């Protein structure tokens, strides 16, 4: 095993937040399930409409996966954006660079440690996510798509956060820029899609390329492949491809900056 991964994982699992974050994570997911279930059943009961288990299961499933992705997007910069800036602040980066570890080893060790903790959170939420199977409307396919999409998005966002950690000297700056980057990925495609929709509103049918404008949005990458028809496979793969390119680009730039001693270009 990469010694950097072993060091980072041991250090993080000894911290108080190693058990505090998963506890809060599960409490939030559980609260979302309870609130959504009570709200859905109360609203349908008021209109004397029978609650369809499949509809309720799909609603709870979407609420959980969206909440899960939101929480992970909040957590990711904490573990990735400060991974290398902390070495600069403690003046230990020079020691790493003069060790037997290559810049790629250092980058991979930092990234893998951040992703392993996020994978722990993702795995801890599986029992809550599996509850939706009891209601119907959701199967192993939807759960697999949701987990795969979330994993791809989180790996790309963490790689971007690690790049900002290479670029800046202080953790607060790298973390702030990473949060701004995540906000831009979420808001800018949505604004672009809204404007393009208004532009082509007079056309007889919605152009096929319009869905691709939402590809950089993390929540779109998660949702477009769920319960979708065959025509949505293309936009879903395009969204995953965008995050794949983001991951590779951030990785290449990060390794280059680490090789230069962590200085920004």
Sorted by where each begins, the domain ranges of the chain are 3-259
Q: What is the secondary structure of 195-254 as a DSSP string?
A: HHHHHTTTSSS--GGGGGGGTT-HHHHHHTTSS--GGGHHHHHHHHHHHHHHHHHHHHHH
CA–CA distance, 223 with 145 (Å, rounded to integer): 9
Indicate whether 202 pLDDT > 70. no
CA–CA distance, 112 with 178 (Å, rounded to integer): 18
Indicate whether 130 pLDDT > 70. yes
Q: Bigger pLDDT: 262 or 223?
A: 223
Q: Dihedral (C-alpha) 121, 127, 128, 133: value to the nearest 10 degrees?
A: 140
Query: How is residue 100 written in tokens?
Result: 């037997």
Indicate whether 60 pLDDT > 70. yes
pLDDT attached to residue 245: 96
Give 47's pLDDT tier (boundaries 50, 70, 90): very low
Mean pLDDT, residues 22-38 taken together: 90
pTM for this predicted structure:
0.87
Q: Which of 148, 159, 168 shows the shortest CA–CA distance to 249? A: 159
């Amino acid at each position: 095993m990469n010694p950097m991964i072993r060091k980072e994982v041991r250090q993080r699992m000894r911290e108080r937040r190693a058990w505090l974050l998963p506890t809060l994570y599960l409490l939030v997911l559980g609260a979302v399930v309870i609130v959504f279930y009570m709200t859905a059943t109360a609203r349908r009961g008021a209109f004397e409409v029978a609650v369809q288990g499949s509809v309720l299961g799909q609603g709870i499933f979407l609420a959980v996966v969206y909440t899960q992705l939101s929480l992970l997007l909040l957590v990711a910069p904490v573990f990735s954006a400060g991974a290398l800036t902390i070495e600069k602040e403690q003046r230990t980066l020079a020691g790493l660079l003069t060790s037997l570890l290559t810049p790629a080893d250092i980058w991979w060790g930092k990234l893998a440690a951040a992703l392993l903790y996020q994978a722990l959170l993702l795995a801890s939420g599986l029992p809550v996510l599996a509850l939706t199977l009891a209601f119907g409307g959701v199967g192993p396919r939807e759960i697999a798509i949701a987990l795969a999409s979330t994993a791809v998005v989180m790996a790309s966002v963490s790689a971007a956060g690690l790049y900002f950690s290479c670029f800046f000297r202080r953790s607060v700056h790298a973390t702030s820029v990473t949060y701004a980057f995540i906000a831009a990925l979420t808001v800018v495609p949505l604004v672009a899609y809204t404007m393009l929709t208004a532009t082509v509103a007079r056309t007889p049918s919605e152009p096929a390329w319009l869905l691709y404008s939402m590809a950089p949005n993390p929540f779109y990458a998660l949702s477009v492949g769920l319960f979708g028809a065959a025509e949505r496979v293309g936009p879903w793969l395009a969204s995953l491809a965008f995050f794949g390119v983001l991951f590779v680009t951030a990785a290449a730039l990060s390794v280059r900056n680490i090789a230069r001693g962590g200085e920004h270009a």
